[in-house]
Amino acid sequence: MKIAIIIAMLILGYPVVPLSAQSFPSIGDTEENAAQSVTGDDKSSAISTSDNGTTDEAIARRLQGIYQELKGLEKTVVAVDSGVVSLSGSLAKPGDITRAEQIALRVDGVVAVQNSLTRDADVSRNLAPVMEQLNERIQQLVQLLPLLGIAIVIIIIFWLLGSLVARAKRFWSRVSPNIFLADLLATTVRLLLTLIGIVIALDLLGATTLIGAILGSAGLIGLALGFAIKDTVDNYISSLMLSIRQPFRANDHVVIGDREGRVLRLTSRATILMTLDGNHLRIPNSTVFRAEILNYSRNPERRFDFILGVDADDDPGIATKVGTECLLALPFVLKDPAPGGRLEEVGDSNIMLRFVAWVDQNETDWFKARSAAIRAVKITLEAQGFGLPEPIYRLRFDSGSPLEIARGTQSISANESKPQPRTEILKTHDDVSIDKDIEEKVNDERQSNQEQDMLDEDRPIE
């Protein structure tokens, strides 16, 4: 084959170079070189035994020296035969058994490792490392006591500084005219200053990595607490919004939802009313913020209405005119807007008339005015001959004339004459002066109780 190749090269004009035995490497040589190239990277990271090779004695001596220097591996016994390392003995920790095997595999010249190490179950030998570690921790803590004391002092100083800034009520009242918002800002600043002190203290102790863990835990805890105290947070935000909106003033007569009374105060948690019966009523601010609020005190002019019934045979137009003129004659009824009346409905035995009139609540009590107006219109209508009958039931018998029986009265004949007009004239009027009993109770309560009140008289009402 070689001769044929040489003849072909001569014919083609190529120079012929003598070939040596090394020019054609054998298959065995190629595989050995490839193995060296593959294992070359691993050898670069291996632990060197010595300068004179990788004999079994050198491997054993090198491993035994390494184990003697590592804590927990001192009792490892090493034996090496043809590159195979045998480990024996007993160690205190299971992790040390695996660690000893990994170290042996890294030594140059080791072919395999037979790990015969066992766990040492002796109580005293297992407790010794723990007690030693505890002793080291205590010594470290004793060494850190001066720094720990300084860190605590720094935290206390920043906390006191934050409390001092938060107590500057005059400053915060200038920053925010709203009392509740001013308290919120003061509390936030105090918290921030305290956190700054904690960060500085942790940095002094070399535990800044703890800050990330604390913040992560705080985020998870805050999320859990957010769901747990959802109603409390809702009430807190509602209190803030009410303090900004100021929907009412102290002593205002309001209806919140289905609750009625005079406003006593607005606190950071609830709105306190004094009912018209003189009782205290606390309504959560979250309920107040979502409820419909009817304020009777904002507009001094307030209207009242009432219904009176006249006889079915009477003229409702004339009755309405007579009642309206009566209301106009009352001194406590406003002329503008003027009072009025209208036919409400026709009943079985009477005609229902509705009368309306306006009063000034700064000078007249609304409840007393309405009561006096009803009385005056009733007496006037009766004086003008209008009947205000009760419901009448008619009973018809086949053998006799019909009878009219008034409820709660004796029976009368159907032919009995209609009552004649009365000549009684309304000459006196009821007392309609403002009833200040509840108002005075509210004022006394506000003066005697110094509980925080977020109602601000200088802010406009929304």
Portions of the chain given CATH number 3.30.70.100: 301-431
The predicted pLDDT at position 28 comes to 39
Lowest mean pLDDT among 202-206, 292-296, 402-406: 402-406
Lowest mean pLDDT among 36-40, 173-177, 246-250, 280-284: 36-40
- What is the SS3 assignment for 418? coil
Q: Are 56 and 82 in contact (CB under 8 A)?
A: yes
Work out whether strand 112-115 and strand 84-88 pair parallel, antiparallel, or are unpaired: parallel
**For residue 419, is the peptide bond before it cis, meaning its omega torsion is within 30 degrees of 0?**
no
Please list the residues that pair with 357 across neighbouring strands.
304
Q: How far is CA 321 from CA 340, 343, 427, in A?
A: 8, 11, 19
What would the CATH number be for the domain defined by 301-431? 3.30.70.100
Tens digits of per-residue pLDDT, 430-440? 778 887 888 88
Please list the residues that pair with 85 across neighbouring strands.
80, 113
Lowest mean pLDDT among 63-77, 223-237, 249-263, 402-416: 402-416
- In the chain, the percentage of residues whose pLDDT exceeds 70 is 70
The predicted pLDDT at position 244 comes to 82
What the block records as the tokens of 437 is 């009993």
Q: In terms of pLDDT, which residue wins out, 427 or 155?
A: 155
Please determine, for residue 41, whether its predicted confidence score (pLDDT) is greater than 70: no
Please determine, for residue 23, whether its predicted confidence score (pLDDT) is greater than 50: no
The contacts found for 419-424 with CB under 8 angstroms, 24 or more apart, are 419/385, 419/387, 420/385, 421/383, 421/384, 421/385, 422/382, 422/383, 422/385, 423/383, 424/379, 424/382, 424/383
Portions of the chain given CATH number 2.30.30.60: 235-297+440-448
Q: In terms of pLDDT, which residue wins out, 39 or 368?
A: 368
Please determine, for residue 270, whether its predicted confidence score (pLDDT) is greater than 50: yes
Name, in order, each residue with C-beta under 8 angstroms of 177's C-beta and a sequence gap of 6 or more: 456, 458, 459
Please determine, for residue 200, whether its predicted confidence score (pLDDT) is greater than 90: no
Q: Identify the CA nearest to 247 among candidates 237, 236, 255, 235.
A: 255
Portions of the chain given CATH number 3.30.1340.30: 56-119
Tens digits of per-residue pLDDT, 321-349? 999 999 999 999 999 899 999 999 987 77
Q: In terms of pLDDT, which residue wins out, 86 or 72?
A: 86
DSSP 185: H
Phi, psi of 267 (to 5 degrees): -100, 180
First to last CA, the chain: 111
pLDDT, mean of residues 242-263: 89
Q: What strand order describes the sheet that includes 403-406?
A: 392-395, 403-406, 412-413
The Cα–Cα gap between 358 and 228 comes to 51
Q: Which span out of 10-19, 76-85, 375-384, 392-401 was modeled with the highest average pLDDT?
A: 375-384
DSSP string, 228-271: HTHHHHHHHHHHHHHHHH----TT-EEEETTEEEEEEEE-SSEE
The predicted pLDDT at position 108 comes to 84
What the block records as the tokens of 259 is 């609750």
The Cα–Cα gap between 221 and 238 comes to 23
Tens digits of per-residue pLDDT, 177-196? 666 677 778 888 888 888 88
The predicted pLDDT at position 283 comes to 93
The predicted pLDDT at position 268 comes to 82
Q: Are 295 and 248 in contact (CB under 8 A)?
A: yes
Please list the residues that pair with 28 across neighbouring strands.
none
Rounded to the nearest 10°, the torsion over CA 369, 374, 380, 384 is 160
Please determine, for residue 42, whether its predicted confidence score (pLDDT) is greater than 80: no
Give the dihedral sign, CA 442/443/444/449.
positive
The Cα–Cα gap between 423 and 177 comes to 64
Please determine, for residue 286, whether its predicted confidence score (pLDDT) is greater than 50: yes
What would the CATH number be for the domain defined by 56-119? 3.30.1340.30
Q: In terms of pLDDT, which residue wins out, 155 or 171?
A: 155
Please determine, for residue 307, whether its predicted confidence score (pLDDT) is greater than 90: yes
What would the CATH number be for the domain defined by 235-297+440-448? 2.30.30.60
pLDDT, mean of residues 209-227: 66
